[in-house]
Structure 1
Amino acid sequence: MTTQDIQIREAKESDFAAVMQVEKEAFGYEKEAILVSQLLEDKSATPVLSLLAFNEDEAVGHILFTKATLDGKASPLIYLLAPLAIKPQHQKQGIGGMLINEGLKKLKGIGAEMVFVLGHESYYPKYGFKQDAGSMGFAAPYPIPEEHAGAWMVYHLSSESVDGVKGRVVCADALNKPEHWRE
């Protein structure tokens, strides 16, 4: 399989079982699948962007972006990336990067200005995410321990200046629990 064999499209309601299968296999347990299920039902997360990667007819990867805001302010359109899941036998083949890039392109197309992620410090910067968003004035929904500050990252989709735009990121209700904010 090569990345040319991979097709990416927005997930439909009829893809729910495939999304759950990818999440369970990728993480080896159900916690992320349950979170994704909750986020897909969560009105505070909408509009969501849910993308599936297929190799022929098999769903092999999934990424979810949920709407977020900056606390108490008229905020730019921002999103959180969580989670990114690739079935184990398809990892390290570029599928995650394809999903990230396609998601960022689609979000830019709807006018989103920033995307945040709490993730692997060596992985997401490859796709343009800037580490330690907290030091840039964007606090995570829950405190990130100092030794993991670099794992809280931001991607600027807009070349428009967001100078002066700062605040704590407020995520969807389903994601707004301390256990989801430990790297």
Structure 2
Amino acid sequence: MMLSFRDTTADDLAVVMDIHRAAFPKDTEARLTRDLLVDPTAAPRLSLLALDGDDAGATALGHILFTATHVADAPGPLRACVLAPLGVRPEAQGRGVGGALIRAGLDRLRGDGLDLVVLAGHPGYYPRFGFRPAFPLGLVPPIAFPPEYADAWMVCILRPDLPAEAIRGHVTWAETFSRPEYAPDPPPVEA
């Protein structure tokens, strides 16, 4: 499959929402994406579509969004963002679209001089793209993580020359993430 990538525009909102509605069982990610795209505290942001070709009639198969974060208490300035959400249409899942979107986004951010990307995600999936647990480095997330899910708080260091001791502090993200309707579901309780 030949993929191309492009930045989204305001005209793409319906397509972006449709991708996330198809990719997830609830409407939460679609609404979160919509709200992050207009949240001034999420800027600057990188919003990319993956297309099944490079002609004008190409179908959008996936979407990824990176939004601004701030790392307080860091020993020096860190340029950082958060990856959330990433969605791929069900018929395109398992074909490398999500991974290609992640790589394209990380390459762009690296080229833009960002230092790191954080996320709350599946620890079995994201390490193949350079993500690793963030707690051991001293990056404190903006939400509480139960100890059994601590490895889901991850970071990808975009600058290989960035010393490990420079990667610590309290992460804050766009105000949209703090709205009650976007609070993460509690982990399942074992009976």
The answer (yes or no) to whether the contact 1:60–1:90 under 8 Å persists in 2 is yes
Unaligned runs of 5+ in 1: none
What TM-score do you get using the length of structure 2 for normalisation?
A: 0.88
CA distance in 2, matches of 1:33, 1:175: 13
**Cα distance, 1:159 vs structure 2:** 1.6
Q: Write the mapping of 1:40-51 to structure 2, written as runs, cut at 5 A.
A: 40-51=37-48
Q: Could you tell me which residue of structure 2 aligns to residue 69 of structure 1?
A: 70
Distance 1:182-1:65 versus aligned 2 partners, 3 A rule:
farther
CA distance in 2, matches of 1:148, 1:175: 19
Of structures 1 and 2, the larger Rg is shown by 2
CA distance in 1, matches of 2:162, 2:123: 25
Deviations 1:151-179 (A, max 9, x none): 11100001222423411110011013471
Q: Could you tell me which residue of structure 1 aligns to residue 172 of structure 2?
A: 170
CA distance in 1, matches of 2:155, 2:37: 22
Q: Could you tell me which residue of structure 2 aligns to residue 147 of structure 1?
A: 148
CA RMSD of aligned residues (A): 1.7
The answer (yes or no) to whether the contact 1:52–1:61 under 8 Å persists in 2 is yes
Unaligned runs of 5+ in 2: none
What TM-score do you get using the length of structure 1 for normalisation?
A: 0.91
CA distance in 1, matches of 2:116, 2:186: 21
Aligned residues: 179
Distance 1:181-1:151 versus aligned 2 partners, 3 A rule:
farther
SS at match of 1:34: helix
Could you tell me which of 104, 107, 112 is aligned with 2:106? Answer: 104
The answer (yes or no) to whether the contact 1:70–1:167 under 8 Å persists in 2 is yes
The answer (yes or no) to whether the contact 1:144–1:181 under 8 Å persists in 2 is no
The answer (yes or no) to whether the contact 2:23–2:88 under 8 Å persists in 1 is yes
Could you tell me which of 72, 80, 92 is aligned with 1:90? Answer: 92
Of all paired residues, the percent bearing the same amino acid is 37
CA distance in 2, matches of 1:180, 1:68: 18
Q: Could you tell me which residue of structure 1 aligns to residue 51 of structure 2?
A: 54
Distance 1:107-1:15 versus aligned 2 partners, 3 A rule:
same
SS at match of 1:161: coil
SS at match of 1:37: helix
Q: Report the residue type matching 2:115 in the other structure.
A: E
Q: Report the residue type matching 2:24 in the other structure.
A: F
The answer (yes or no) to whether the contact 1:115–1:157 under 8 Å persists in 2 is yes
